[in-house]
Amino acid sequence: MGDRLRVAVIGGGLGGLAAGLALLRNGLDVTVYEQAEALGEIGAGVTVYPNSLRLLERAGLGPALAAVGATLGEGSEYYRMDGSLVGSIVTRDSSGWNGFYGMHRADLLNALAGAIPSEVVRTGHRFLSCEQDEHGARIVFANGEVATADVVVGADGIHSALREFVTESSPPVYSGSRAYRGLVSRDDVPDWRPNAHQVWMGDGKHFMVYPVRRGELLNYVAFVPTEVSTIESWSAVGNRDELVQSFSGGDPRVTNLLGKVQNCYWWGLYDRAPLKTWTNGRLILVGDAAHAMLPHLGQGANQGIEDGFALAAFLKGSRPENAPALLESFTAFRRARTDLIQAEARRNGLRFDSKYKSLDERDQEIRKTAEFRRWAYDYDVEQAANDAKAQLAGAAV
């Protein structure tokens, strides 16, 4: 076995490609395996916050992201459902950097894919099984191909196929809400604030809008209560009329925008307890495969990107025989942060859905969340991971 660590990444979505990019930057031998025949993402928005944007810019993606992202800033606000102002949404980190983009998920995926040599990504490879010993891991794919690696990274999402080889899954618990999502052309609502991330909070429901794709499109997400569980899929076609009816009588800005909606998608929101572990020997889970979280902080994709860059820092310059111990250290390092963010996303959903006896109390809490958000945005996971690894090396001397 050679000294250069060989890493197989299962999943070619945002988290998998970010991990692949970070691992390549740190000198590892990387292959990303994607089950689909071509890389692709659903037609929905994602918010890129400073905690992940600084990593992507450091990796050279700054110009590519600036070309397709929509800067979020002035006019970003929280409201009650009737349009009453609650407060401003944080759009700067503590240094004053406005590192916030609203992005179409496909645009972000394309930017990541464009930064990785094409031969690194192998499509048409659906993961089937994995076995491992002290010498490495052996991966079997549905197309009959077999691959070997020193480390196998499960970046294959909330329904991870690798997870069963790592740990027992936490059972999904239906949250009682479904989310509608879709895109509206900015030309259809010309008076809309151009760079604003806006959130309306109502009784058991909330509605948010932010621009994507250079501001040409508005991404909306509507969270509504339902007693009937909804499939946990981002591509299930939703009921447009039901969506519009759910917000009738609210702020005219919301009802007018919904009047422009032609079609939408929906997915059920399911909560999960933290997994017992993310790693088993040479196998490691990252992103939604490891710590799926409710979307009420917008940190899901951002935490997945953090995972990839932290993992690369831990594995950089390491020998294959040291991989299992490093994966344990990586897991402990990351869980200290992701468990907090996962729990805060759950609490923030209660705030957004007005689960309070006093809305004044809720509004005050919303304003106070600025402190938590700045803590999340100020973090440099790459630097923190390098520091943690250096401490481990010092302790071993």
Q: What is the DSSP string of 35-66?
A: SSSS----S-EEEEPHHHHHHHHHTT-HHHHH
Q: Which residues are catalytic?
A: 210
Residue in the structure block whose two tokens are 């992103």: 287
Please state, in angstroms and as integers, the Cα–Cα distance from residue 59 to each residue in 175, 272, 292, 334, following that order. Answer: 37, 32, 25, 20
Exposed/middle/buried for 214, CB within 10 Å: 0-12, 13-18, 19+? middle
- Are 197 and 208 within 8 A, CB to CB? yes
Among 5, 57, 46, 54, which Cα is nearest to 29's? 5
Exposed/middle/buried for 189, CB within 10 Å: 0-12, 13-18, 19+? middle
What is the amino acid identity at position 153?
V
309: phi then psi, degrees, rounded to nearest 5: -75, -35
Q: What is the DSSP string of 240-258?
A: HHHHHHHTTTS-HHHHHHH
